[in-house]
Amino acid sequence: MDKATFGMIGLGTMGRNFLLNIGEHSIAGVGYDLDKEKRDLLMKEGSEMPLDVGKDIPEFLSKLSSPRNIMLLVPAGPIVDAVIADLTPHLNENDLIIDGGNSHYTDTDRRIAELAAQQIGFMGIGISGGEEGARHGASIMPGGTKEHYDRVEHILKAVAAKVDDEPCVAYMGQGSAGHFVKMVHNGIEYGLMQIIGETYDYLRRVKGKTAGEISEIFEKWNTTELNSFLIEITAIVLRKKDAETGKFLVDEVLDEAGQKGTGKWTSQAALDLGIPIPTIDSAVSMRQISAIRSVRDAAGEVFGKDLAERESSISTDDLQKALTAAFIITYAQGMSLIQAAATELSYGTDLAEVSKIWRGGCIIRSALLEEMRQAYGENPGLESLMIDAKFADALKAHTPNLRKMLSACTRHGIAALCLGSALSYFDAFRAEKLPANLIQAQRDLFGAHTYKRNDTEGVFHTSDWETADGTGA
């Protein structure tokens, strides 16, 4: 075949399927992997497509047209740097390397600068959708220079998921914007999954529902405003039977949740930018708690494993509305973080575009995202999704149900860290006054940190807080 317009290094599940997706759209591609079996599998599965492989990097590069577009889909971290080091001696000016893995955004900025010094382009692209998305259409979040995005835009649009004939790909902004947006996507994913988990836990332990019965509830909820990929797959997971025992498989799965670090990165970035995302933070904490099996077992022996009452006065309708409110608040936290990064890190990210490309292909796709797209389209500077008129109406309607559910979880001894943090986040933002005045006064007493007053302009310090009559000011 003629020289390929797109190259892929890393022919594991994601890389192979992404390249097959490209080939299926009649775009000539070439792949490379150290593992010959993976190269052979690509050629077998893509035998009717304009695809080829190279047995080594020089042969791989010789099959690409110039300037070359080369995507890496390899594990994040040192392996990315190692592949770049292997590539660069063979590259020419204006060749472009595209990192499609879950790299930390600070690594992406470093790589952009290092390769720019060699006149080699570098882009970080977030890809969500897993194996299925890579093969049949993912949500794609590209960052880097606009010039580099324009160069590969037609390829990314061809292989992206489509919603209403619109491809779920858009330019996220300068530098590491693509990887930052994907990181926050994953942080939101952590929050939503834990909220679902806490709701499931209430239905299981308090309502006494079987996994099959809870599956039916989630299936029904997926026809409401909660319609989303995560609600859909929750119903699927819950109804699966174990072939060995005949029991519901989820009941046989050990309750220890793994993580690959993107949730933690989201929390760290939020702390650095001064943006509160307590529900995402709580989701990371709950995964960490789930992994501390020995301490959990010991605490269970000391305090008892079940402090719960067995009656429950809240309905599944209450739970559905509570879950909807918590979903909205979690999305709001993530979008506020992206909004801050758009300014503070000079990304220039358009939140309406983020909402648009998350509607299909990605793990956190939901019906709420079309309304989010409209909200940010009408008001690009929207400070919080919670104060958009439509979302504010939804929160006014549903937060009483969230309050009711959280009260019930507390009464029954059900851990609801994410549901609780979502409600407290909402309550903090709507409060007329927070207790930060007391905190600032304490800081002034022990550290002379000063304070501002409600009744006059300026900065003040009280030299003797122990004088009760005010003469120490």
Gap between the Cα atoms of 452 and 456, Å rounded? 8
- Ramachandran category for residue 165: left, alpha or beta (phi over 0 → left; psi -120 to 50 → alpha): left
Q: Please give the structure tokens belonging to residue 386.
A: 């919670």
Question: Cα 405 vs. chain centroid, distance in angstroms?
Answer: 25
CA-nearest of 308, 305, 307, 260 to 284 is: 260
Q: Please give the structure tokens belonging to residue 110.
A: 């470093």
Backbone angles phi, psi at 6, to 5 degrees: -145, 130
Q: Is 340 exposed, middle or buried (0-12, 13-18, 19+ CB in 10 A)?
A: middle
Backbone angles phi, psi at 122, to 5 degrees: -145, 135
Active-site annotation, residues = 182, 189
Distance linking the first and last C-alpha atoms of the chain? 84
CA-nearest of 326, 425, 422, 340 to 368 is: 326
